[in-house]
Each structure stands twice: as C-alpha cells, then as structure tokens.
Structure 1
Amino acid sequence: MIKIYAALLATAALFGTQAAHAAVSETPAPTAPAGARAPTSPAPGAGQPASYEDQIRAFLQEQAAAYAGTPQIAVEPVDTERLAPCEQAEVFLRPGSRLSSRLTVGLRCLAPQTWVTYAQANLSIDGSYYVSARPLKAGTVITRDDLSERSGDLLLLPRGVLRDADQLIGSITTQRINAGSAIKARALRSAGSIQRGQAVRLEARGPGFVATSEGKAMQGGEPGTQIQVRAGSGQMVTGTVLNAHTVLVLM
C-alpha cells in the first residue's frame, strides 16, 4: 500500500512539472502599452544654419524643375548669429528675379518672431538644347535636319531661347538665323499665323449667313488672336485669326 501511494505521489509531481513548463512556454510576449510609438531621431534644432541651407536647396530644386536638366546647387552658410530662433521659415526670390548662375535667395521667419535675411547660392542646370545646323533664311519652315543638339548649362543661354525641338520643328523663321545659333521665340512664328501685309481671306458670319471676301492684314497674329484687316472696300474690320490664310469676322 505504501509503495502504491509513493508511486502516485511521483506521478503527480511529474505531471505538475510538465504543466509548469507548459505554462511558461505558452505565456505571450509582453506588448507595448497602448499609444506608445517607436522612438524617432531628434529634429534639427531651430535656427541651425544647415536646416536653412536645406530649405534653400529644396526651394531651388523646385524652381529648377521647370528646366529639362540636372541642377547643381551650392548654398553658402546662412549667418544666424544675430537672428532669433525660428520655428517656421519660408524661402523666396525677390520680385522680378529669375534663375541665374549666382542668386540672392531670401529667407523669411514667420514664427515665433519675424525676420528676413538673405543667402547666396550658385546654380547650374546641365541639359540639352538645339541650335541651327545651317544658316536659315527668313521664311524657312524648320525641320529636324535644320537643328543640331548641344549640351551645357541652360542658365547661360540668352533669355527667350527655345530649348525643346518640338517647339522649333514646324515653326517659320521671321529673320535670318546664323549656323550654330540658339533660336529665340521672337525669331519664329507658327505655321498657322498671319503676317502683317499678307493677303487674307475674310470670312464674315452672322445669324443665318456666311460671306467671304479678300483683305489685307494690317497686323500679324497667331491663331486665336484678333487683328485688323483692310477689306477690299477699304473698310477696316477686326477679326480672329483662324489659320495662316483666314480671318473670321463675327457680325
């Protein structure tokens, strides 16, 4: 009887140990308290020159996006020694300014105290553009063979130069263009435009009627613009350019 009782005690002890091990293995891992967040890197302190330089660099990157090229930006350190700490700042260019190789960029603090300072930046935009492959006389309809691709700093091109081949092909030159010259918009007109002094077809439209006559353009214009035309009778009328030969007059 004593042996049986001892065996029962040993069996109970064995099952208890196994249950204890099972309880330990099935205990879930501790979870983070509700609302806790993973730690983040500290933000740069307000007023640090590097943060201002980054804002200026990002601003110029956005402005340079209007050019089909790769910008290279160098911003000189912003002098903040005498400036109050700033929590919200904006970057700006002076009115009338345009992107150039050397820029004065404004930095305005909006809060908590307002102040304005300026920084210097160097900018270049490397990209491709087109020049005339041969001398082009006035009245030439530009084709792809008339253009030669070049690469360089787009900011060094004269103002008004057209850089995209799609803007050039099909346009008509209004003046002589030398070989190797970048082509300005003012030296071209669209194929659908009318030139001053050109003979045109006047198309008069009114309720229930359409009449046509001949006239002479007293102004040049692109399709959609209004120009003055002297009719065959000598009368001056104003109409809208429809295409390279027709002016619409609404009655």
Structure 2
Amino acid sequence: MLVLQPVAHSVAQAATQTPEELNLQKKMLAFLESKAASWDGTLQAQIEPPNIKNQPKCENVEIFIPGRGATLRPTVTLGIRCLGPKPWVSYTQANIRIDGNYYITARPIRAGTTLSMQDLERRKGDLLRLPRGTLIDPEQLVGYITRYRLNARKPIKASAIRSPLSIERGQMVYMEVRGVGFVARSEGKAMEDGEPGDHIQVRTASGQIVTATILDAHTVLVPM
C-alpha cells in the first residue's frame, strides 16, 4: 500500500504562486501518486513550481513523464501539456523517494540454491535507488532457485533467480506428444532456458531440433 508524505513548501514560496499554479501542483502530485501506486511504501515528493505565468490560461491539463516507457526515478522531469483552449507544453522537475522494505542476501549464496527466508535479511530505504530489476517482495524470492552465486548483503535482481518449474539450457527433458486417446513420451535436450508457457527449442535423440512448450521443470509439449 502506498502512503503519501507530502513535502511542505515555504510560506514565501506558496505566497508567490497563483491559484492556477497551486492547482497544477496538486495535479502533478496526484499524477506521481498514481504512478507510484504499485509500490509498497511511503511516497515523498518535492515538485519545483512550474513557470507558467506567461502561458495562456488552460482549462484542460495533462501531466506526463517525457520519453517512451518512462518510469519513476529519484529526479524526474514532469511534462505539463495544455490541451486547450490554446495548447502549450511546459516542463518542471520533481525530487521523489519511496521509502519501503526490501530484502538483501543474508550471506553468500551458491548457485542452484532454493531460497528461503533464512537466506534473506530485511532492509528499509528508498526503493527508487535500488538497482533496476531488484525484487523487493519476499514472495518473489522464497522458493526460487539462484542462477549464479550471490554475494552477501546485496539486493537480488530478477535475472539472478529462476522459477522452480523452469528449464535450463542443456537439461534433459521429457518430450510429450498428445493426440486423441494417446500420449507419446521421449527424451530430449533443452537448447534454451525458459519458464512454464515459454516456447523453447529441444534436440531429440535423433538430432532433430523441435519447438516445444514448457509444462514444468521436466516436461515439454511438442505440437503434432
């Protein structure tokens, strides 16, 4: 659950802002809240007052973050797009943080280890400053298998673990072919990593390469 902890502006600063600018800041804060809604923590936001005094009056404002696939960062540019009556665009800066719990490795962990809570240690801090791809929910960690050795006291990235139902490249798997009233099974070798539902290439005992769908940690389904 996201909790908002607003950062107050000085009285002198607030006194210099017009009602339109104050209303716009509320909209920008609401926008940041919506972008941060999926995070479990406390949002703090300090928004630089936008310089729109010389812009025509706007009746329909849209707030956005420039760039395709833009996400929240500790310092982020906010775009202000007026849709009418006379369109214009302006920009300002916001400093934000989301304080919440995350987990680090409690000790060095070997490759191939199935993680448990004993392998993890809880920390609290700014979630936006964690390395990209860090997993912060223990449900995303416990029961998963490490792909490589993990150093102690480090956050864990999604790329560092795999599902216990996943298949690794080079692993021997059972290949199933299903038809009406029958199931044929043989062995093959996975040529790619994958999770359940992924399509991977598998080499048959005869050397043929086929595409199959992963069912579980040991089985793939080959279409007829």
Scaled by the length of structure 1, what TM-score is found?
A: 0.80
- 1:95-114, Cα deviation, whole Å (9 max, x unpaired): 23221111110001112110
Q: Which runs of 5+ in 2 are unaligned?
A: 1-17
Figure out how many residues of one structure are paired with residues of the other and give that number. Answer: 207
Q: Which runs of 5+ in 1 are unaligned?
A: 1-45
* Partner of residue 143, structure 1: 116
Q: What CA distance in whole angstroms lies between the structure 2 residues aligned with 1:52 and 1:124? A: 20
Maintained 8 Å contact 1:47/1:85: no
* Partner of residue 25, structure 1: none
* Partner of residue 224, structure 1: 197
Q: Tell me which of 167, 186, 196 is aligned to 1:194.
A: 167
Maintained 8 Å contact 1:47/1:80: no
* Partner of residue 57, structure 2: 85
Per the TM alignment, residue 235 of structure 1 is displaced from its structure 2 partner at its CA by 1.5
Maintained 8 Å contact 1:47/1:84: no
User: Any residues of structure 2 matched to 1:14-163 within 5 Å, and which?
Assistant: 48-96=20-68, 97-163=70-136
Maintained 8 Å contact 1:138/1:175: yes
Q: What CA distance in whole angstroms lies between the structure 1 residues aligned with 2:83 and 2:122? A: 45
Per the TM alignment, residue 161 of structure 1 is displaced from its structure 2 partner at its CA by 0.4
Q: Report SS of the residue matched to 1:119.
A: strand
- 1:56-83, Cα deviation, whole Å (9 max, x unpaired): 1110011111211110011111112210
Per the TM alignment, residue 47 of structure 1 is displaced from its structure 2 partner at its CA by 6.8
Maintained 8 Å contact 1:206/1:250: no
Maintained 8 Å contact 1:132/1:179: yes
Q: What CA distance in whole angstroms lies between the structure 2 residues aligned with 1:137 and 1:176? A: 5
Give me the identity figure in percent.
51
Per the TM alignment, residue 209 of structure 1 is displaced from its structure 2 partner at its CA by 2.3
Q: What CA distance in whole angstroms lies between the structure 2 residues aligned with 1:212 and 1:48? A: 70
Per the TM alignment, residue 250 of structure 1 is displaced from its structure 2 partner at its CA by 2.1
Per the TM alignment, residue 51 of structure 1 is displaced from its structure 2 partner at its CA by 1.0
* Partner of residue 245, structure 1: 218
* Partner of residue 210, structure 1: 183
User: Which of 1 and 2 has greater Rg?
Assistant: 1
Q: Once superposed, what is the RMSD of the aligned Cα atoms?
A: 1.4
Q: What CA distance in whole angstroms lies between the structure 1 residues aligned with 2:99 and 2:46? A: 14
Which has the larger helix fraction?
Answer: 1
Q: Tell me which of 132, 140, 148 is aligned to 1:167.
A: 140
- State the one-letter code of the partner of 1:92: F
Runs of 4+ in 1 over 6 A off after TM superposition: none
- State the one-letter code of the partner of 1:196: R
Per the TM alignment, residue 206 of structure 1 is displaced from its structure 2 partner at its CA by 2.2
Q: What CA distance in whole angstroms lies between the structure 2 residues aligned with 1:178 and 1:159? A: 17
Q: What CA distance in whole angstroms lies between the structure 2 residues aligned with 1:193 and 1:86? A: 53
* Partner of residue 38, structure 1: none
Q: What CA distance in whole angstroms lies between the structure 2 residues aligned with 1:209 and 1:77? A: 69
